[in-house]
Amino acid sequence: MSDRINVTRSSMPELDEYVEEIKDLWQTRWLTNMGTKHVQLQQKLQEYLEVASVELFTNGHMALELTLQAMDLQGEVITTPFTFASTTHAIIRNGLEPVFCDINDKDYTIDVSKIEDLITERTCAILPVHVYGNVCDVEEIERIAGQYHLKVLYDAAHAFGVRYKGKTVGQFGDASCFSFHATKVFHTIEGGACCYQDPVLGKILYQLKNFGIRDEDTVEGVGANAKMNEFCAAMGICNLKHADENREKRRKVVERYREQLEGVEGLQLNRNRKEVYSNYAYFPVIIDETKFGADRNEVKEALARQNIGVRKYFYPLTNTFECFHGKFNVDDTPTAKKISQRVLTLPLYADLDFHDVDRICKAVIQCRR
Ligand SMILES: *Cc1c(COP(=O)(O)O)cnc(C)c1O
């Protein structure tokens, strides 16, 4: 049996590099609560992401959930079901109602031509997702949000380091939330961040991640605890130094995939919109059974037999989750339904070697009938 290939593998700095970075924690004994690593990472990310303000969190989900809370919204939030559980849960856990808009079948982000039909008097915000690092139609979303006075919060969990027309994704909308989970292109083991425009929002976010405490004597809000600790921040500081080098390695892996899978009948590969500077976060393949001769599940099983891990990502759609039984109709989002039934993301990480890519491509192509 050949060696197992997992769908992802966390990037890590050299052990010595990390040890060097955490050494001073043994002197300071300041392990969390916005210590020097936290402050440093925050500043470095502001530079790297070219944004005025970054707030760090324990994970991407708490960044999303608390940013929605900080926006103090009521009513309906237009979003998509083709995402990770986190996006929809963040809306519902804030007492807001998700209204599911379909996605487009080019880059799987929100279908902007369908947003306006979903706007009601109760709509307060749009929460689109930069799926696989593909950038949403930020211009059209900005137009709609302006016309109807809606807040825009981007789930940018997949889009670290992505640019559109030269701007980093963190510059769009009222705020954008990133995930720094171990499986993401840039990680802090667990972690997340919010980039935001309004300094008032920043103050609220800082409080919400620290129990609503304003100062020694005043607890101003009903906050949570979502502070990033010093060990995670230190991992982020190390990983950030290698972010560009890792992106370049991922780009080469993706190129290798494309050389072999582009043009294969029945396979649709990821297409970025024009003027997108990608982070090569994922390699999704949409499998059209009628043309390819095998369906998504068959391909997944065939690869599993060859010790290759792939992911049905995103499947199931969030509007079909067991916990929402009877609440939403999946046929309201037919493109999302179709894509989620056909998508597989293939293994992709910076150190995936070309032999393995070739083995994966061969295994996929062998499934054709
Ligand atoms: C990973 C992810 C999240 C959640 O991030 P965590 O850091 O795991 O909490 C949210 N949305 C999307 C689209 C994600 O992929």
For ligand 1, the distance from its centroid to the CA atom of residue 263, given in whole angstroms, is 31
Of 7, 68, 83, 86, the residue with max ligand 1 atoms within 8 A of its CB, to mutate for a pocket test, comes to 86
Considering the domain architecture, whether residues 86 and 213 belong to the same structural domain is answered as yes
What pLDDT is recorded for position 274?
87
Considering the domain architecture, whether residues 180 and 300 belong to the same structural domain is answered as no
Considering the domain architecture, whether residues 276 and 157 belong to the same structural domain is answered as no
- 223 CB near ligand 1 (under 6 Å): no
Of 93, 169, 181, the residue with max ligand 1 atoms within 8 A of its CB, to mutate for a pocket test, comes to 181
- Please, are residues 72 and 201 in contact by the beta-carbon 8 Å criterion? no
The CATH number of residue 197's host domain is 3.40.640.10
- 86 CB near ligand 1 (under 6 Å): yes
Domain assignment present for 8: no
Domain final position from 188, 219, 241: 241
Distance between CA 141 and CA 136 in Å, rounded? 8
**Res. 1 pLDDT band, cuts 50 70 90:** low
- 134 CB near ligand 1 (under 6 Å): no
Considering the domain architecture, whether residues 39 and 170 belong to the same structural domain is answered as yes
Taken in order 341, 251, 187, 200, is the CA torsion positive or negative? Answer: negative
Considering the domain architecture, whether residues 191 and 209 belong to the same structural domain is answered as yes
Considering the domain architecture, whether residues 139 and 278 belong to the same structural domain is answered as no
Considering the domain architecture, whether residues 211 and 237 belong to the same structural domain is answered as yes
Considering the domain architecture, whether residues 290 and 219 belong to the same structural domain is answered as no
Domain assignment present for 328: yes
- Per-residue model confidence as pLDDT tens digits over 193-206: 999 999 999 999 99
- Per-residue model confidence as pLDDT tens digits over 310-344: 999 999 999 999 999 999 999 999 999 999 999 99
Domain assignment present for 80: yes
Pick the atom of ligand 1 nearest to 180's CA: 7
Considering the domain architecture, whether residues 294 and 312 belong to the same structural domain is answered as yes
Domain assignment present for 7: no
Residue 234 in tokens: 């230190």
Predicted TM-score of the model (pTM): 0.97
Phi, psi of 61 (to 5 degrees): -65, -45
Name residue 196's beta-bridge partners: 175
Of the candidates 104, 70, 101, 74, the one whose C-alpha atom is nearest the C-alpha of residue 88 is 101
Domain assignment present for 3: no
Distance (Å) of CA 350 to CA 246, 252, 356? 5, 9, 12
Count of domains for the chain: 2
- Per-residue model confidence as pLDDT tens digits over 140-196: 999 999 999 999 999 999 999 999 999 999 999 999 999 999 999 999 999 999 999
Q: Which residues touch 112 (CB under 8 Å, ≥6 apart)?
A: 104, 136, 137, 140, 141, 144
Considering the domain architecture, whether residues 234 and 251 belong to the same structural domain is answered as no
What pLDDT is recorded for position 331?
98
Domain that holds residue 129: 15-241
